[in-house]
Amino acid sequence: MYSSSQRYETQPLLNQRRSKLKWNQKLLKWPFNGILYGLLLLGAIYLLYVFIKYEIQPETSYTTKTRNSLHILSIATTNDDYLKQCAPQVKCNPTAKYRRINGSCNNLEIPTWGAKDTPFLRLLNANFSDGFYKLRIQTNGSALPSPRVVNIKLFLNQEIYRVDENNVLLLPFGQLIAHDVSGLFLDIPKSDNGGVVDGCVDENARKTFTQCQMVVENPPDDPVYSKHNIFCMGLFRSLTSRNYSCPLYPTTFINNNTHFIDASEVYGSDENYALHLRMMEGGRLNFSTSDNGQMFCPFLANKNLDLTVHKKTDTEYDTGDPDNGNQNLGITAMQTLYLRYHNYIAFKLSTINPYWSDEILYQESRRIVIATIQRIVYKDFLPIIIGEDFQEIYGLNEVNIYDPTINPSTSQEFSTAALRILHSIIPVQFNFINKDYKTEYSINITDWMRESNLLPLQNNFDKLLKGFLETPGRLVQPSYNFYISNFMLAKFNEPPYTGRDLLTIDIVRGRDVGLQPYNYVRHLCGLPFANDFEDLVDLIHIKDIMKLKELYNSVNDVDLMVGLLLEKHSDGAIVGPTARCIIADGFYRYKAGDRFFYDVQGQPSSFTDGQLNMIQKITFGHVICATSNVDHVQNDIFKIVNHNLFPTSKLKCDEYDLDFKEWEELNDQIEL
Ligand code: HEM
Ligand SMILES: [Ca+2]
């Protein structure tokens, strides 16, 4: 499968072939040579069949029209198994104007492509030690290094304290998009009395419950946890297709959200859930109001989330992403922003078209919200991540590129490794900045996880947004901040050392879902296959290569997440070439594989020229102005603009008005 590893074996193979020839010549004299050659012929035909089926036949993606030399093809052989064995029959209405909530019927030939509860795509076949589900081991048969040890040796305390030219807003927006395209749920084992089984507390559970196989032992000399007698991290494996009554081989993982960039974190990925978020009046989404009259996602009382998480209060919000919408203050702020934006547009449309039904107002507003998110992703966000030039030559700036042969699914390599590189931009703190550009206070992100009750107090939402815009971000780097690397999800009122290590989790999650090691993915991306550790020197610093050598037995064992974090960044990008390749592949799929993408023409869902023109004027700045009391926004929304040095360079929110007249009297038949 991996041609370069074969290439390195060329010499011995030739020798073998020479000796075989002599053996074959002897065989010619053998009376049964006819049978032998018959069998050989059959074998050759079979091999040819396998080769054609699995290797030569390109992924049904990328037609000649859109394909270019930077694009990669999935060479996994299992991606169609779900379609063959488990995909439900779905009836689609090809003239429907609005995308379905669960993402089905986007592709009319393969209606489940990109839908909620369908598998992540694999770019390379899964890698499990038993070929099916057991965690990967090293090529020499020994256990892989503990992910916590990998973190300690390579990344912890290696922080670069230089600030970025990008601001903190890149973080919550990036996380919003991550949750739009990916939702991997945990398989939490329960005991007979319904309690969560913790593999750290109960060592037997590690044998009884496969879900507990991922428990991470912290080393006895752990620089942080050992001081507090914490020797174990009780992590769980992810839900598999088996949990969805689809027993695929090898183990396959399911995306709980729609794969498309379709604001599923705002509206939900499930029809009933989406209905429950709606007010059913004026096209609006349900909301709660704070003491000072501001709009927030509906407050929920006494919601029992994760048993392992202690709560300071019961304030929580009902969002389209019940799993993650409350995870930290940043993401909850984004959820709030987009709830408000939806209701703002619904209100605008209702004043233009007072006779529109709730349904039309909801769907048209949703369509506009999705379009603006897609625009921000491709215009502002992605160029920062993969670099403007690369984005251009990859073809990601081309418009109207829908291609029904492209599978829009999120790849496992994308969501469980490449995009997670951006966990390194998580800062220690969020700042709350007031109208006078003064930081009123700061909070540690890790102290307030799953506890977003600060948000509706006073003008905190506005100050937090201002903080995102005005605080320089943390540089992408091969090290997560010290708090998220040790104290994530630390329990309130207990010493803060009970927390988790996000980097350890990211490494082990890659093993959980069976990602191939770095070397193979790097090679898929067109980079030279490393024959030994030293070959990594093209992209990885020699001091890190030395550490890799101490940790791993072979260069073919290095975890994907680890290699991606260590790679030198590509020109103009904030990630290295392998991460860039996987990320670009993902965003290409979300655009070229989405029939409802906002700039697609000639579909029942297409915007009119006038509407498209207007959509193209909506920036993230506009969204922020429309939904908050922030009064100035920078043109380049993710960049730091020093207010004291350039006091007039920002746009004033009250000069920012967009009208929706292009939607006026749009009384044509709307098919749902
Ligand atoms: C304060 C900010 C953030 C925190 C606290 C955070 C934390 C987490 C946690 C705890 C997980 C689940 C880990 C697991 O069990 O496997 C996760 C998953 C993930 N994160 Fe983040 N994250 C943050 C920001 C970001 C950003 C900025 C990005 C990228 C732009 C990102 C991308 C992802 C992705 C792709 C996943 C996998 C999602 C899935 O498949 O369910 N995260 N993050
Ligand atoms: Ca989605």
Q: Do 560 and 417 form a contact (C-beta atoms < 8 A)? A: yes
Spatial separation of the C-alpha atoms in residues 284 and 362, rounded to whole Å: 6
Q: Around Cβ 140, how many Cβ atoms within 10 Å? A: 8
- Count Cα neighbours of 483 within 13 Å in the Cβ-side half-sphere: 16
The DSSP line for 61-93 is ---TTT--TT------S-TTHHHHHTPPP----
Q: Who's near 376: CB < 8 A, 6+ residues apart? A: 173, 619, 620, 623, 637
Q: Residue 328 has which token pair?
A: 């930290």
- Specify the 3-state DSSP secondary structure of 155: helix
Spatial separation of the C-alpha atoms in residues 420 and 416, rounded to whole Å: 7
Q: What is the pLDDT of residue 42?
A: 64
In order of 298, 356, 459, the CA distances from 287 in angstroms are: 4, 21, 17
Spatial separation of the C-alpha atoms in residues 555 and 543, rounded to whole Å: 15
Please report which ligand is nearest the Cα atom of 236: 1
Q: What is the pLDDT of residue 666?
A: 56
Ligand 1 atom nearest the C-alpha of 414 is: 35
Backbone φ and ψ of 217, nearest 5° = -80, 125
Q: Do 55 and 3 form a contact (C-beta atoms < 8 A)? A: no
Ligand 1: which of 164, 167, 184, 423 to mutate, judged by most atoms within 8 Å of the beta carbon?
Answer: 423
Average pLDDT over residues 291-309: 71
Span from the CA of 637 to the centroid of ligand 2 (angstroms): 23
Spatial separation of the C-alpha atoms in residues 591 and 381, rounded to whole Å: 14
- Specify the 3-state DSSP secondary structure of 365: helix
pLDDT surpasses 60 at 603 = yes
Spatial separation of the C-alpha atoms in residues 24 and 568, rounded to whole Å: 51
What is this model's ipTM?
0.99
Please report which ligand is nearest the Cα atom of 102: 2
Q: Residue 118 has which token pair?
A: 């369908």
> What are the respective helix, strand and coil percentages of the chain, to the nearest 5?
40, 10, 50
Q: Residue 25 has which token pair?
A: 């010549």
Per the prediction, the chain carries an average pLDDT of 88
pLDDT surpasses 60 at 125 = yes
pLDDT digits 0-9 by tens, 555-579 = 999 999 999 999 999 999 999 999 9
Please report which ligand is nearest the Cα atom of 331: 1
Ligand 1 atom nearest the C-alpha of 179 is: 38
Q: Give, as one character, the DSSP assignment of residue 513.
A: T
Q: What is the pLDDT of residue 17?
A: 32
Backbone φ and ψ of 271, nearest 5° = -55, -50
pLDDT digits 0-9 by tens, 69-120 = 999 999 999 999 999 999 999 999 999 999 999 999 999 999 999 999 999 9
183: nearest Cα among 270, 75, 248, 247: 270
Tokens 């398989």 -> residue: 187
More confident residue, 398 or 18: 398
pLDDT digits 0-9 by tens, 614-632 = 999 999 999 999 999 999 9
Total residue count of the chain as it appears in this document: 672
Least confident among 11-15, 241-245, 421-425: 11-15
Spatial separation of the C-alpha atoms in residues 384 and 377, rounded to whole Å: 10
Ligand 1: which of 420, 485, 508 to mutate, judged by most atoms within 8 Å of the beta carbon?
Answer: 420
Average pLDDT over residues 363-369: 98
Q: Is 569 annotated as a binding residue?
A: no
Average pLDDT over residues 341-365: 97
Residues at CB less than 6 angstroms from ligand 1: 171, 174-175, 178, 182-184, 328, 330, 415, 419-420, 422-423, 426, 445, 502, 505, 509
Please report which ligand is nearest the Cα atom of 384: 1
pLDDT digits 0-9 by tens, 494-533 = 655 578 999 999 999 999 999 999 999 999 999 999 999 9
Q: Angle 368-372-378 (CA atoms, 0-180°, nearest 5)?
A: 145
Query: Cα dihedral sign for 189, 194, 200, 202?
Result: negative
Span from the CA of 142 to the centroid of ligand 1 (angstroms): 30
CA 628 to chain centre: 27
pLDDT surpasses 80 at 3 = no
Span from the CA of 344 to the centroid of ligand 2 (angstroms): 21
Spatial separation of the C-alpha atoms in residues 562 and 519, rounded to whole Å: 11
- Specify the 3-state DSSP secondary structure of 431: strand
Span from the CA of 444 to the centroid of ligand 2 (angstroms): 29
Q: What is the pLDDT of residue 53?
A: 40
pLDDT surpasses 60 at 434 = yes
pLDDT surpasses 70 at 14 = no
Cis check: omega of the bond before 172, within 30 degrees of 0:
no
Tokens 């590690």 -> residue: 206
Span from the CA of 569 to the centroid of ligand 1 (angstroms): 21
- Count Cα neighbours of 160 within 13 Å in the Cβ-side half-sphere: 12
- Specify the 3-state DSSP secondary structure of 118: strand
Spatial separation of the C-alpha atoms in residues 586 and 576, rounded to whole Å: 15
Query: Cα dihedral sign for 49, 54, 55, 58?
Result: positive
Q: Which residue type sits at 70? A: L
Q: Do 259 and 178 form a contact (C-beta atoms < 8 A)? A: no
pLDDT surpasses 80 at 303 = no
Largest CA-CA distance found in the chain, in angstroms, rounded: 97
H or E element: which one contains 548? helix 542-551
Q: What is the pLDDT of residue 204?
A: 87
Query: Cα dihedral sign for 635, 596, 391, 117?
Result: positive
Kindly provide the residue ranges of all beta strands, DSSP E only, lying in 175-217, ordered along the sequence. 216-217
Bridge partners of 216, per DSSP, are: 233
263: left (phi over 0), alpha (psi -120 to 50) or beta: left
Residues with CB under 5 A from ligand 2 (ion): 180, 257-258, 260, 262, 264
Ligand 1 atom nearest the C-alpha of 500 is: 10
Average pLDDT over residues 583-611: 97
Ligand 1 atom nearest the C-alpha of 255 is: 40
Query: Cα dihedral sign for 463, 317, 501, 448?
Result: positive
Instruction: Please give the model's pTM, rounded to 2 decimal places.
Output: 0.90
Q: What is the pLDDT of residue 40?
A: 61
H or E element: which one contains 564? helix 560-566
Ligand 1: which of 164, 175, 323, 487 to mutate, judged by most atoms within 8 Å of the beta carbon?
Answer: 175
The DSSP line for 265-287 is HHH-SSHHHHHHHB-SSTTPBP-
189: nearest Cα among 164, 172, 206, 169: 206
pLDDT surpasses 60 at 316 = yes
pLDDT surpasses 90 at 319 = yes
Q: What is the 3-state secondary structure (H, E, C) of 10-54?
A: HHHHHHHHHHHHHHHHHHHCCCCHHHHHHHHHHHHHHHHHHHHHH
pLDDT surpasses 80 at 466 = yes
Ligand 1 atom nearest the C-alpha of 421 is: 29
pLDDT band per the 50, 70, 90 thresholds, residue 489: confident
Average pLDDT over residues 237-244: 96
pLDDT surpasses 90 at 451 = no
Q: Do 467 and 430 form a contact (C-beta atoms < 8 A)? A: yes
Spatial separation of the C-alpha atoms in residues 353 and 301, rounded to whole Å: 36
Average pLDDT over residues 149-162: 95
Average pLDDT over residues 243-256: 97
Bridge partners of 488, per DSSP, are: 500
Q: What is the pLDDT of residue 264?
A: 98
Span from the CA of 513 to the centroid of ligand 2 (angstroms): 20
More confident residue, 5 or 635: 635
Residue nearest to atom 42 of ligand 1 (CA): 175
Residue nearest to atom 10 of ligand 1 (CA): 502
Q: What is the dihedral of CA 492, 314, 319, 305, to 10 degrees?
A: 60
pLDDT surpasses 50 at 210 = yes
Q: Which residue type sits at 433? A: I
Q: What is the pLDDT of residue 240?
A: 97
pLDDT digits 0-9 by tens, 31-82 = 445 555 665 666 555 545 444 443 334 454 444 455 789 999 999 999 999 9
pLDDT surpasses 80 at 394 = yes
Ligand 1 atom nearest the C-alpha of 327 is: 5
